[in-house]
Every structure is written in C-alpha cells, then in structure tokens.
Structure 1
Amino acid sequence: MADKMETAVNDTEVAASDLSQKQQSVEEPTTQSGETSVLNVLVQGVALFSDGYNVQVIGYMETVLAKLYPKELTANIKTRLSNSILIGEVLGMLFFGLCIDRFGRRMGIIATTIFLVLGIVLATASHGTSVTGMFWMMIISRGIAGLGAGGEYAVCTAQALESADGDEKLRKKRGFLVAVSTNLAIISGFVGSSIVSVIVIAAYHGKASDGIWRICFGIGCVLPLSIFFFRMRLLDSTQYRKHAIQHKIPYWLALRMYWKPLLGCCSAWFLYDFVVYPFNLLAPTLVKGFSSNQTLLESVGWSALINAFALPGAFFGAFLIEKLGRRQTYAFGWAIVCIFGFAIGGSMIQLQHVFPLFVVLYGLFQSFLSVGPGNCNFLVSSESFPTPLRGHFLGFAAAVGKAGAAIGTTVLSIALNDFDSAIKGQQVIFLIGSGLSVIGTLCVWFLIPNHPDNLEDEDARFRAFLEENGYPTENIGL
C-alpha cells in the first residue's frame, strides 16, 4: 500500500512538473533564431518595396497619360489619380492597424495582399465607354490597391520590429534593420518604378502608348504574388503571442499613457508626407518647367534621377540612427531639409539657368528627407508604443501621414499652377515645404520620446500601468 501511495505521489509530481513546463512555454514563448529573424525582416521589406512601386508609378504614368489624353486628363482627374491610392492607404492603415492587434499579424498579411493584387489587376485592365470613364475605373481600382498597401505599412513594420527584437544579437541593430525594411524598401520601390518606367518608355521608342501604363501598372503585382506563399508560412512574432490583448482593449488607459508620443508621431508624419509625396509626384512637372522641348523619356529620366537621391539618404540614415539615436537623427534630417529647401526656393530664378545644379540641390533635398523623418517615422511610431496596441497607434500615425500626403499633393499642385510663371510656382512650393520642415523639427524634438532598449521593457511598463488602474492583466497573451 505504501509503495502504491508513493508511486501515486510521484506520478502527481511528474504531472504537475509537465503542466508547469507547458504553462511556462505558453507564458514565455521561445525566441526566434537570428537567421529566421533577419529573413522575416527582409521579407517585410520586399512587401513594402512593392507598395512603394505601386504608389510612385502613377507620377510617371501621368506624364504618359497627359500626352495621350491632353483634354481628358484635367487638373481634377490628375489630382484624383494621385490621391486615390493615398486615400485607400489611409483607410487600410486604420482598419488593418486594428485587425493585426486583434487577430494577429499573419491574418493581416493575407488580407492586405488580396486587396493590393486585386486593385492592381483592375487598374491595369481599366477601360470605359469614354476616356473619362476609363480614368474613373483607374481611380477606383487604385483606391482598392491602396487599402492593401496601407495595411502593409502596419503589418510589415510591426512584424519587422518584433522580429528584429526577438533575437538578442539583432536587438542592437533593430533601428538599422527596421529602417532598411521600411523606408529604404519603399524608397527602393520609388526608384524601381522610375527604372521600369524608363525601360518601358524606351521600348516604345519614347512614344506615348496605352501599352506603357498598362505594363507598368501590371508589373506592380509580381512581387506581392511571388512572396505571398512564403509570407503565409510566417508565424506571429513571439512578442505578439506573449502580449496580445484580443478582448476588452483598454483604449482610454492607453491614450492616457501615450497621448504625447502619439501626438508627436502623428504631427511629424503628417508634415513629412505633406512635403515628400507632392515633391515625388510632381518631380516630372517640376523638371519639365525648365524646358518646353523635353521628350517624354527625358522628362521621366530626369525626375527618376532626382527621386533616386533619396536612396543613399535612406541608407545613410539607417546607419545614423544607431549612432545618434532616433530623435536626434529625426531632427537632424528635418533641419538639413529646411536649409536646402530655403536655398532652392530663394535662388529659383537663378537656378533656372543652371539646370544640373537644380537637379543636385533638389536631389539632396529629397535625400535628407529620407535621412531623418523618412527612416524614423516607421521606427519611432512602432517603438514608442506597447505590443498589444502597436498596430493601432502605428496605423493611426501612418494614416495621419497619408492624409498629409493627400492634402499636400492637392495644396502644392494648386500653388504650383496658381502662377503665370512656372518658376514662380516652383519657388513658392519649395518655400512652403521648408517652412513645414521647421515645424516638423520642433515637433520631433519636443514630443518624440527616447526609444526603449528592448520592446519587453515598454510592454512591462504598460502592463504595470494597467494593473495600477485596475485593468485585469491575467488574460494578456495567447
């Protein structure tokens, strides 16, 4: 009898030990390997590359469409073409920012890819009983694509950040990795769209054709489809599985704790997109203003060169983030943009006689927009908030930024065309952009917090705040 009792006790202890190990494995998920983390980060970068391509390609195709349909492509239609994907992005950022916190990062990958590819296919096939009808189909289709592209901002940035933080060796390079997989990837997509546009236009011997914009639009769905099945196999990050809040989300408590960094991130991103998107999309128009005899290929080629300046700026800024810190790099980039913008605006009349110098100064203006705010928008807006609400706050800040892009494109397009002299209009928009950069510098310096050394610190601080205010934290995590 004693032996049986001892055996029963031992069995109970073994069962309790097994249960304890299982509970510990749930409460403290295993971290990812360094190779898996890096691969996960890079895959998110490829996805955002495709978003950058699809957003920017319309700027070059508007030059083609203007030659094909000079009467039908009115100023209003042109603005709607530029803004449709931006408006879709705003909705996608808000909606999928909520979804990925509630249902997981992997769900967001599936849904955003479907919307993005569907919109691109419809835009490529745009037609109608009239040219205006064709333009409206294009506008609506690019809006659908924007829903997916906007959702990718929240999905990819959150997944890249949490993957980079999941390995101790990579944690010290987290800022660099996230900057490379977000802003550098998107800028590369911008440059990729210009290279594809130049090649396709050259293939048509520099003559405008419907085939040009249909091919350039259609290429935009190649990358999302090529990596879709690989992304389907990725798991939600360790950090998300450990800290997710899927029910009774404490919005009011979160706003009480994070209103200041949220205000800073939203303000800085709004001002950045208000400046950078119009100057990207209007690059062909600005370049054309220096000469009335430029061919289609020359116009697109010069503007492609100007936008390519942002690429080394994004790469340099990614290194600078780890040396100076997030907020310092953020403010430094904004301050240099102010200097170049005021210099170009103040000397525009003289620069009209030295076109190569204008291209270099314009390119440096674009480059330092990437060095500071371009890189730091994604990083700061994801690091400043806890994992359970990262998608919410990141998506909201990005949506406010894209609202700035839509408003900025409209306002600066009107300002550019509101003067009889093209040079005068260009001068005004550079001065406006530089003035807004001054405000952006101040917002960053006074509202943006220093980043946490690791994401777990911020999650622990948020959990402690919830407990102090009576929120039940026992159900946090999956």
Structure 2
Amino acid sequence: MRSTTSETDSGPDGLKEITTDVPARLDRLPWARWHWTVIVGLGVVWILDGLEVTIVGNLSDALKSSDTGLGLSSSQIGMAGAVYVTGSCVGALLFGQLTDRFGRKKLFIITLLTYLLGTVLTAFSMNPAYYFAVRFVTGMGIGGEYAAVNSAVDELVPARYRGRVDITINGSYWLGAAGGALVTIPLLNPDLVPAGLGWRVCFALGAVLGLAILFVRRNVPESPRWLFIHGREKESERIVSEIEETVERESGEKLPAPEGTITVRQRHTIGLGRIARTVFKDYPRRTILCLGLFVGQAFLYNAFFFTFGDTLQTFLGVDQTGAYIALFAVSNFAGALLLGPLFDKVGRVRMISATYIVSGVLLAVAGVRLDSLTAVSLTAFGMAIFFVASAGASSAYLTASEVFPMETRALCIAFFYAIGTAVGGITGPLLFGRLIDSASAAKDIGGIAVGYYIGAALMVGGGVLAMFLGVNAERKSLEDIATPLTAEDADASSRNADD
C-alpha cells in the first residue's frame, strides 16, 4: 500500500492524517484508452447542452406558431433561454455543493438523470408556462453536470494533458450544436414530419443520447483525490491501482515511479464559511479573474447564439437555419480542438488573453458592419469570431477548475458559472430578444449591434484581466497550483505539535 497513515492521529470519527502519492501516480500516467472512457462518459454533457441550446434557437419559428407550436413571441423565446440558464445557475450551485460533499460519481449520475427528466418533459409541452418550467428543470441538470463533471475530469486526467482535454471537452458543446442544427432540418420539414410533432421529437433526441451515456458513465470511478481526503484512502488506493494496471496493459508501457507525496488531515466536509474565506480572502485575484472570464464568455455566447437563428429568420430571410448553425458550430469545435493544445504548450495566460481579446475585437467589427451583412457573410463572421472565442470560453471553465483547492473545486466551478452566467447568460438572451423585437419593428438589423458591442467589451475586458491576473497552471499538478485545505490543516497541526 503506497499511502501511509498515522494511527495515533486517528480521531473518534476514524479520520487520520495521511501521506499519499495518489496525485503523483495519476499525473505520471501515459495517455491510454482508459482516459477516453472518462472523456466519453463525462465529457458528453457539453454535447447535450449544445444540442439543447441549438434546438431551442433553431425552433424559434416552430415554437412561435399558435396552431402547431406554443405561440411564443421573440421576447418569449429569449425568456425561455433565460429561464434555461437560470435553471443552470441554480443547478450548478445546488449540485456543486453536494458534489464536494458526497463525491463526484454520485452527483454526475444524479445530474444526468435530472437532465433526462427535464428534456423528456419538454417534448410534452402544451403551453408557455409549462415550457418555461421544464426548461428550468433541464437547465438544472446541465448546470449540475458542469460542476460535477469538470471537477471529476480534472482530477482523473494527467497534468500534462489537462489543458487540451478540458478545452476540447468544453468545445464538444459544438458537436451537439452541429447535430442539433442538422437534425432539425428534416424534423422541421412539414412534408416529412407533421409540424406539431417535429419540434417535440427534437427535444426527445437529447434523452436518447443521455440514456446511452448513462450506461458508459457507470464505469467511470470516483475521484481518488476526493476519496483520500474524505477518509476513504483504501478505496482510493484500490481505484488507482486498478487504473495503473489498466493503463499499463493498454499502453504496453511500464510505469515510472511516482515523484512526490502530499500530507493531508482528512475531513468529511468543508464548511461554506471556510470555502468563502478561501475564495475571497486567500485567492482574491483568482476570484476576480474567473468572474471576468465567465461573464464575458457567458454574455457573448448566450446573447449571440441563443438568438442567431432568430436573427437569420427575422432579418435575412432564412427559412431553414440548420445548415448555417451547423457551419457555425463546426467552426467552434475546430477552434477548441486545434487551439486547445496551445494552452499546454504556449501557456494559459498568453492563450486566454489572446483568445478573449481577438474574438472581442472581431465581434465589434461585425457590429459595425452589421447593416451590410448577408446571411452567408454574417455566418462567416460568426465562424471566424467563434473559432477563436470557443477556446477562450472553454478556458474559463479550465481556469475555475484548476486554480482553487481541491475541496472547493466543484463549488467554485458552480459559483463562477452561476454568477457569470447570471450576469451574462440571463441578461444576454433577454436583451437580444428585445433588441430583435424593436429592430424588427423598425426593419433595421443594425438595431441589434449594441448587443455585439457589449459582448465585445466584456470579452476584451476578460482578456486584459487574464494578462494581469492569470495563473501559469500548464503542466502542473492540481495540488501545486492550489494547496488543498486539508494539506494546510495537516501543516498547521504539525506546526502546533512542534510548538
């Protein structure tokens, strides 16, 4: 057994001060097929989110019909997006706290089931009020997934791959977006599928994918890092040993000896007061950085993408928006896939600041030229902007998941996602929905340019924050980037004993 414990230090609850090399053992693993199981089982949440958001954006005309849809206005389409995002914020905060307390695996099963319930119920919507309610439930599941899954992925992926894996997984949102856009083309064709049925089938597709992933996810283990901190070091050792045996067999490589150990004082739970002090008192610069990154990317994406289909249909005479959105989505995923490795090679600070600033400037240029753009040229502009912005937006999740102590990881992801999304993701769709309504009445697409300028300013601001407050976390162990609170407890106990 590689982990050592001090039996004399055991408390009445059986918790101990232990020294373990579990983090070093996980970080020195070569890439193997086992890691793909983790990525497929956990990372698909972003595909589901992309599917949901794209379907809603692409169904605007179908949902507006009072005969075969729900009779929604453009403002109500924006309201539905805001309700979905509000549910995501609530779900992130609720499930994020539970993830840090009860473990990653229990919660990423519960959150997926919550999503499945919400999206199935959406397919049976009969009026706007019911639709808003079930979109809230669906959003809760997705928001909870972000907290549970991001923390689990970072704790299972070796340090030298963490940046590119996180960026690519978050960018896989756009695989869902492309799929959602393409499937709506035949399903919204009344010659193929009855108008009142097609949009309902679109929502049901998310449940089919979610059920398939549920079976894969059962094979993903609990985070060994979470286990040894919460008094379950024997289970942590067993899981890591099984992972090592699997990776050695799949890679054909004999693993090198791990380098480094960490000493922690185990705890069942970490109080919210301690977490708040950690985030706001111990790491204020990182807190400001994460807030800036999340607000910028949330406003940019939720404002532009929630209403992209509506903009094409309302101002540019596009009947079927699926092909345009699919092209836009492919560009986003390509950006995350191709730029992701640079976050490990060039570095976090340089890449985060560059992607935020460049995409912000390009969005401002698109706003200036909005009056002269066609459906094709607006889509081309969007593809160029979000090729860069996709990697930047994903880096916000990467940053929040790796720059705070392990015991707070899921809740920190949830907190910054909720605050940033509440500011950018709720106000964005509401603002753009109203801008589209007023611009449509005036028959002037230039009326929505103000939304582009706000998004551009927030993205550039996030990039500037990264230049001054960014953390060089590339290729470093999570425990080196932010010392676990339980390690600080052990260190304090040792100093007190010496005194």
Q: Are the aligned partners of 2:171 and 2:336 in contact in 1 as well (CA < 8 Å)?
A: yes
Code of the residue aligned with 1:406 in structure 2: it is: I
The answer to which of 247-256 and 408-417 deviates more is: 247-256
Distance 1:470 1:29, change over 3 A: closer
Query: Could you say which residue in structure 1 is the equivalent of 2:210?
Result: 224
Equivalent residues in 2 for 1:406-421, closer than 5 Å = 406-419=426-439, 420-421=442-443
What is the aligned partner in structure 2 of residue 447 from structure 1? 469
Matched-pair contact (CA < 8 Å) for 1:44–1:156? yes
* Cα pair distance change 1:29/1:333, threshold 3 Å: closer
Structure-1-length-normalised TM-score: 0.83
Q: How much has 1:390 moved relative to structure 2?
A: 0.4
Q: Secondary structure at the match of 2:59?
A: helix
1:384 aligned residue: 403
Matched, 1:285 2:310: yes
**Using the alignment, how far apart are the partners of 1:473 and 1:196 within structure 2?**
63
Q: Percent of aligned positions with the same letter in both sequences?
A: 22
1:149 aligned to which of 125, 142, 147: 142
Give the CA deviation at 1:208. Answer: 7.2
CA 1:173–1:416 in structure 2 vs 1: closer, same or farther (change >3 Å)? same
Cα distance change on mapping 1:222 and 1:379 into 2, 3 Å: same
Return 5+ residue gaps in structure 2 as ranges. Answer: 9-15, 231-266
Which one of the candidate residues 351, 360, 382 is aligned to 1:362? 382
| Preserved contact between residue 306 and residue 363 of structure 1 (Cα < 8 Å) | yes
Equivalent position of 2:81 in the other structure: 82
1:99 and 2:98 are equivalent in the alignment: yes
Query: Are the counterparts in 2 of residues 112 and 148 from structure 1 also a CA contact under 8 Å?
Result: yes
In terms of fraction of residues, the more helix-rich structure is: 1
> SS of the counterpart of 1:401?
helix
Residues 1:141 and 1:330: Cα distance change in structure 2 (over 3 Å): same
Give matches, 1:429-448, under 5 Å: 429-448=451-470
Matched AA of 1:264: L
Query: 5+ residue gaps in structure 1?
Result: 1-15, 128-133, 166-170
Structure 1 residue corresponding to 2:184, chosen from 197, 213, 224: 197
1:345 and 1:409 mapped to 2: Cα distance?
17
Q: Provide closer, same or farther for how the CA distance between residues 80 and 413 of structure 1 changes in structure 2, counting only shifts above 3 A.
A: closer
**Deviation of 1:258 (Å):** 1.9
Instruction: Measure the CA separation in 1 of the matches of 2:115 and 2:53.
Output: 11
d(CA) in 1 for partners of 2:403 and 2:496? 21
Q: CA deviation at 1:105?
A: 0.4
Show the counterpart of 2:248. Answer: none
Deviation at 1:445, TM superposition (A): 2.0
* Aligned: 1:39 with 2:27: no
* 1:75 CA displacement: 4.0
Q: 1:371 aligns with which of 391, 403, 409?
A: 391
Correspondence for 2:300 among 236, 258, 275: 275
| 1:310 matches 2:297 | no
Native 8 Å contact 1:381 1:394 kept in 2:
yes
1: CA distance between counterparts of 2:369 and 2:212? 47
Query: Higher mean Cα deviation, 210-219 or 186-195?
Result: 186-195
Q: Aligned in 2, Cα 1:361/1:248: closer, same or farther, shift over 3 Å?
A: closer
Partner of 1:53 in structure 2? Answer: 51
- What's the secondary structure of 2:283's corresponding residue? helix
Deviations 1:428-478 (A, max 9, x none): 32222222222222222223322161113245465554467679999xxxx
Q: Match of 1:247?
A: 269
**Alignment partners' CA distance in 2, 1:154 and 1:375:** 14
User: Are residues 320 and 208 of structure 1, via their aligned partners in 2, closer, same or farther at CA, if it must alter by over 3 Å?
Assistant: farther
Q: Deviations over 1:175-201 (max 9, x none)?
A: 1112222x1221211222111112322
- How far the C-alpha of 1:206 sits from its partner, in A, is 7.6
User: Quick check: 1:164–1:178 contact (8 Å CA) kept in 2?
Assistant: no
What RMSD in Å do the two structures reach over aligned CA positions?
Answer: 3.0
Distance 1:25 1:200 in 2: 57
CA spacing shift, 1:125–1:268, aligned 2, 3 Å: same
**More deviation, 424-433/389-398:** 424-433
**What residue identity is the alignment partner of 1:412?**
F
Deviation at 1:252, TM superposition (A): 4.6
**Partner of 1:136 in structure 2?**
129
